[in-house]
Structure 1
């Protein structure tokens, strides 16, 4: 009984822990005084021009930390995330537009660096294939059901065979 309780406790923990970690107040406990999550951007990274800094924050919010993989580079304390934040700010100071900065980062680190992947043929195939497979499976089940219904739902016994089955059941007392 104790072993079953332990197994149940572990199973419950494994089911509940991802939900708790995804919750914004539990999974990210460090809040700033204004009620938002604290950003990992250091004061020496902040640009003097508020418009450029705002653009840099908007771009950084859409880029994935390649170390943490589930955070934007704005939220990550990893060294690589800092390097990416600085790279974004350098490109903005050089006069690149937002799209050009994103294209530069994607060219260097690949499409995985984007938190929201671009809508392209490859992403359509990636997300559409499971839907197509489910629809094909449903169509197969539907057609197989129609074929079985058309054939009469299976073979029927002749009158002689039914009598033989009844005799065999009576002999066995069923």
Structure 2
């Protein structure tokens, strides 16, 4: 019983121990002074997935890694780098998973084709159901 309680306590404490004691990066939670640059940074951040949370964009996530990625995006935008090149660099570094809009390729084809296939199956099932009711 004590062992199970200890395992449960460790499992619950793991997320609390995941963040470091370091202060956040300069632009992690601070907007850029130039509203146009901040708008570009925000638009890009909303298209990038938090690698820790996985269900949130880096713009919405409170994870430390998302804060670091926000700071990186803002710093590069402030230096004049284009959002497309920043996005490309992040995809090269973290893989296609970092983006909410993966390109169509052999690896991501099931993600793009599954909804179409499921819709087709649903239409066939509905058609068969309606034919049974008529007959």
TM-score in terms of structure 1 length = 0.47
Greater relative contact order structure (CA < 8 Å, 6+ sep): 2
SS at structure 2 position matched to 1:122: coil
1:52 matched to 2:37? The reply is yes
Q: Equivalent residue for 2:94?
A: 109
Q: Equivalent residue for 2:70?
A: 85
1:64 matched to 2:52? The reply is no
| Bigger CA radius of gyration | 1
Describe the shift of the 1:129–1:55 C-alpha distance in structure 2 as closer, same or farther (beyond 3 A). closer
Distance in 2, matches of 1:88 and 1:99, equals 11
Distance in 2, matches of 1:92 and 1:65, equals 19
| Deviation, structure 1 residue 106 | 0.8
| Deviation, structure 1 residue 121 | 4.2
Structure 1 residues without counterparts, runs of 5 or longer: 1-40, 139-174
Structure 2 residues without counterparts, runs of 5 or longer: 1-27, 125-135
Q: CA RMSD in A?
A: 2.4
SS at structure 2 position matched to 1:95: coil
SS at structure 2 position matched to 1:64: coil
SS at structure 2 position matched to 1:77: coil
| Deviation, structure 1 residue 129 | 7.2
Describe the shift of the 1:48–1:120 C-alpha distance in structure 2 as closer, same or farther (beyond 3 A). same
C-alpha contact 2:104 2:112 (8 A) present in aligned 1: no
Structure 1: which 4+ aligned runs deviate by more than 4 Å?
none
| Deviation, structure 1 residue 108 | 1.1
| Deviation, structure 1 residue 119 | 2.9
Distance in 1, matches of 2:114 and 2:62, equals 36
| Cα-to-partner distance string for 1:133-155 (whole Å, 9 max, x where unaligned) | x99xx9xxxxxxxxxxxxxxxxx
